[in-house]
Amino acid sequence: IGKSVCGKDVYIIQSGCGEINDNLMAPLIMTNSCKTDSASQLTTVIPCFPYAQQDKKDKSQVTISAKLAANVLSVADADHIIAMDLHVSQIQVFFDNPVDYLYAEPGVLKWIRENISEQKNCTIVSSDAGGAKRVTSIADSMNVDFALIHNENVKDLVAILVDDMVDTCGTICHAADKLLSAGVTRAYAILTHRIFSGPAISHINNAYFQAVVVTNNIPQEDKMKHRSKIQVINISMILAEAIRKIHNEESVSYLFSHVPL
Ligand SMILES: *[C@@H]1O[C@H](CO)[C@@H](O)[C@H](O)[C@H]1NC(C)=O
Ligand SMILES: *[C@@H]1O[C@H](CO)[C@@H](O)[C@H](O)[C@H]1NC(C)=O
Ligand SMILES: *[C@@H]1O[C@H](CO)[C@@H](O)[C@H](O)[C@H]1NC(C)=O
């Protein structure tokens, strides 16, 4: 850190994506350096939580990496953590320190309202049972139905598939095929954390999606901009307003339902 932060409130922002271990270590070192320099209040802002998908122990040799990542943040002495759309709510109990959770949902709803004209003929779709709560909440706000990919009638509707975290996109692209066979008029995918590894882009290009919309929780580097199907929801203002509110000791709950202007 270039200058003393002694007595200051400090906010460290780093998304846990890309070179994930470097991007986990960097905020840990910065947090701890600021603590050593007697910063008064330290907040670590992690838009995409590292290892969020590794949230359970399904084999005896496996560790719960998401829990380990939460634990080391506590050890580095962050007073406060800000995260967005954690993959499963279970991760919340991994933290020892106070955490403010933010949701991409207001940004998602805003994108839908500005970009999809047939609001009443939409259905919000989850590709698995785990996402049911998320899609129900969005569908309720829009006053439309929601569907799980297996069993609902979506004929003649505009399907909006919503997911929090996707990697190779195999599952959502398979879901798009199913929606097409079921007779939807169009399909969109809206994703909070796009990891997009391996064949993700080619999967998306070949899939029946009008647009695949992602947040910039993970930086959207230039190469993404040239993929015509990919559009970006800018969540910067949600984070900025959360920081402002926390700094002023206000509740962040307004941001659960509103996008700050
Ligand atoms: C979605 O809405 C935003 C804001 O009005 C606009 O900039 C963007 O081009 C729209 N995208 C599409 C596909 O219409
Ligand atoms: C909604 O779907 C119905 C039945 O397919 C159609 O008649 C109507 O025009 C659609 N409304 C809009 C706004 O697209
Ligand atoms: C996102 O929004 C912020 C605040 O309005 C703006 O400063 C930033 O340039 C935007 N980022 C992109 C990639 O458009």
What spacing in Å lies between the alpha carbon of 115 and ligand 1's midpoint?
Answer: 6
Domain assignment present for 115: yes
pLDDT tens per residue, the chain (261 residues)?
A: 889 999 999 999 999 988 899 999 999 999 999 999 999 999 999 999 888 877 666 777 777 888 888 889 888 888 989 999 887 666 777 777 788 889 999 999 999 999 999 889 999 999 888 888 889 999 999 999 998 887 678 999 999 999 988 888 889 999 999 999 999 999 999 999 988 888 888 898 899 999 999 999 988 776 566 677 899 999 999 999 999 999 999 999 999 888 887
Total structural domains within the chain: 2
Q: Which residues line ligand 1 (CB under 6 A)?
A: 114-115, 211, 231
- Closest ligand 3 atom to the C-alpha of 237? 4
What spacing in Å lies between the alpha carbon of 168 and ligand 3's midpoint?
Answer: 27
Token digits for 124?
């919000």
Residues 252 and 200 reside in one and the same domain: no
Residues 212 and 247 reside in one and the same domain: no
What spacing in Å lies between the alpha carbon of 132 and ligand 3's midpoint?
Answer: 30
Per-residue model confidence (pLDDT) at position 184: 94
- Closest ligand 1 atom to the C-alpha of 114? 2
| C-alpha dihedral sign at 225, 137, 109, 123 | positive
Instruction: Say yes or no: CB of residue 121 within 6 Å of ligand 2.
Output: yes
Domain assignment present for 118: yes
Residues 36 and 50 reside in one and the same domain: yes
Q: Which of 76, 71, 73, 94 is nearest to 39 (CA)?
A: 76
Asked if residues 16 and 48 have their Cβ atoms less than 8 Å apart, the reply is: yes
Q: Please give the residue range of the domain that contains residue 119.
A: 105-234
What spacing in Å lies between the alpha carbon of 236 and ligand 3's midpoint?
Answer: 6
By most ligand atoms within 8 Å of CB, the mutation choice from 223, 231, 232, 236 for ligand 3 is 236
Domain assignment present for 175: yes
Domain assignment present for 2: no
| C-alpha dihedral sign at 144, 147, 153, 156 | positive
Per-residue model confidence (pLDDT) at position 223: 58
Domain assignment present for 4: no
Per residue in 64-113, pLDDT tens?
888 888 889 888 888 989 999 887 666 777 777 788 889 999 999 999 99
Domain assignment present for 14: yes
Residues 220 and 207 reside in one and the same domain: yes
Q: Which of 10, 195, 190 is nearest to 110 (CA)?
A: 190
Residues 249 and 208 reside in one and the same domain: no
What spacing in Å lies between the alpha carbon of 114 and ligand 2's midpoint?
Answer: 18
Residues 96 and 117 reside in one and the same domain: no
Asked if residues 80 and 100 have their Cβ atoms less than 8 Å apart, the reply is: yes
Question: What CATH number is given to the structural domain containing 137?
Answer: 3.40.50.2020
Per-residue model confidence (pLDDT) at position 198: 85
Token look-up 């999967």 returns 203
Residues 86 and 206 reside in one and the same domain: no
What spacing in Å lies between the alpha carbon of 158 and ligand 2's midpoint?
Answer: 10
Domain assignment present for 1: no
Catalogue the E-assigned strands of the chain.
9-13, 41-46, 80-84, 99-102, 122-126, 145-148, 158-166, 186-194, 211-215, 230-233
pTM of the model: 0.89
What is the residue with the minimal CA distance to atom 8 of ligand 3?
Answer: 236
Asked if residues 158 and 185 have their Cβ atoms less than 8 Å apart, the reply is: yes
Residues 28 and 131 reside in one and the same domain: no
Strands lying side by side in the sheet with 41-46: 9-13, 41-46, 80-84, 99-102
Per-residue model confidence (pLDDT) at position 214: 93
